Amino acid sequence: MIEPGKTIGILGGGQLGRMLALAAASMGYRVHVLAPEDELPAGDVAAAVTRAGYGDLAALDRFAATVDVVTFEFENIDTAAIRHLARQVRVHPGADSLEVAQDRLAEKRFVEALGGRPADYRAVDSRADLDVAIAEIGLPAVLKTRRMGYDGKGQARILAPGDADAAWAAMRGQPAILEAWVTFSHEFSVVLARGADGEVVVWDVPHNSHVAGILDTSTVPAPPEVIAQAPAATALARLVADALDHVGVLTLEFFATAEGPRFNEMAPRVHNSAHWTIEGARASQFENHIRAVCGLPLGSTELTAWSVTMKNLLGDDVHDWATLLADRRAHLHLYGKSEVKPGRKMGHVTWL
Ligand code: AMP
């Protein structure tokens, strides 16, 4: 058990790290953030900051010497660096979780082997592969880079064969995956926390609405169509967590379809679709992640309200902060980012 007063290392310095650091601080831990960017939303609320690249082994060695456990808020870190760190200090979740979740092909195969059903897909490593994949899967479809994609980045829709050249060009030569376009009624996610002893707690499944590939709102309770599919999706998420011996929060995203839940993707970390848990559940995803990586018992995921809605503040939405503060039911969270860019996650607001 890593007791309060010890230091938690967080790889990554964005808003997820910021909210993890706040939860850690309220439980009496110190946080040391390592990330390469100049502006670090997590660094602003941490006891210590190291500005270094995730592949800088000398910096990682110095970092490891100052922390009692390492976690991450971001999955696109070379697993060789994670394994290097893990030889010196406890790292949760482990490199296996990261390795599967950072590659869309690996995660689909992994989930399928456990009985999950992703959209029909094919690996695409060349322009010729793309033609074969289109012939086999049909259109419409979506081409995605296997690695480093998020919030709809690294994705190109293919509606007609004539779109294939542009879609392949958008991958910039990176290995990709073609996915059949799924007809769904809703999107939802399963967010769970798994402790070092294998105990698993699951929050209520939120209904997630995306706009232009970016999460817009998460709402609990989800509509009946989602509630009906939640048990099967949750059972799959538990199998995935156990199979990876995952410690910490794990998120699986799904499409609710006429044939049941279709797996979309997973994240081996706290997730935007569970920000509502800060006020909407007894223990938030951030608190339970800290509890899990420190080997503490997990907190209750019970709801604190009849219904909860979380809305992201993207780009210029952040300028509405004064209006939102005037709404006495709104809980406003701003991430302290100075540069406003279209689609950039600047904050979120939660209504109970
Ligand atoms: P992703 O980054 O893969 O989660 O994609 C972002 C969003 O794009 C998803 O949440 C969906 O709204 C949409 N999307 C991605 N892939 C598909 C698909 N195969 N079929 C339908 N919608 C998709």
Among 180, 207, 224, the domain-final residue is 180
Mutate to test the pocket of ligand 1, among 134, 142, 271 (most ligand atoms within 8 A of CB): 142
Ligand 1 probe mutation, 121, 157, 264, most atoms within 8 A of CB: 264
Q: Give pLDDT, residue 153.
A: 77
Question: What's the 255 CA to ligand 1 centre distance in angstroms?
Answer: 9
Output the domain CATH number for residue 130. 3.30.1490.20
Q: Which residues of the chain have pLDDT under 50?
A: none
Ligand 1 atom with minimal separation from the 150 CA: 2
Q: Is there a domain that residue 99 lies in?
A: no
Domain membership of residue 112 (yes or no) is no
The pTM of the full predicted model, rounded to 2 decimals, is 0.97
Token pair for residue 350?
């939660």
d(CA 258, CA 263): 13
Q: Which token pair is 146?
A: 């296997």
Whether 175 is in a domain gets the answer yes
Same domain, 12 and 131: no
Residues 46 and 172 in one domain: no
Strand order in the sheet with 176-180: 121-124, 176-180, 141-145, 155-158
Task: Count structural domains, the chain.
Answer: 3
- Together in a domain, 229 and 342: yes
pLDDT given for residue 216 in this prediction: 98
Q: What is the pLDDT of residue 148?
A: 84
pLDDT of the residue at 151: 67
Report how far apart the first and last C-alpha atoms of the chain are (Å, whole number).
Answer: 34
- Res 319: pLDDT: 97
Q: Is residue 100 part of a domain?
A: no
Same domain, residue pair 57 and 205: no
Domain hosting residue 196, numbered range:
186-351
Residue ending a domain, choose from 132, 148, 180: 180
**Res 267: pLDDT:** 97
3-state DSSP assignment of residue 264: strand
* C-alpha of residue 179 to centroid of ligand 1, in Å: 9
Backbone φ, ψ for residue 341 (5° rounding): -125, 150
Q: What is the pLDDT of residue 169?
A: 96
Share above pLDDT 90 across residues of the chain, in percent, rounded to a whole number: 97
Residues 267, 227, single domain; the answer is yes
Q: What is the dihedral of CA 171, 174, 177, 178, to 10 degrees?
A: 30
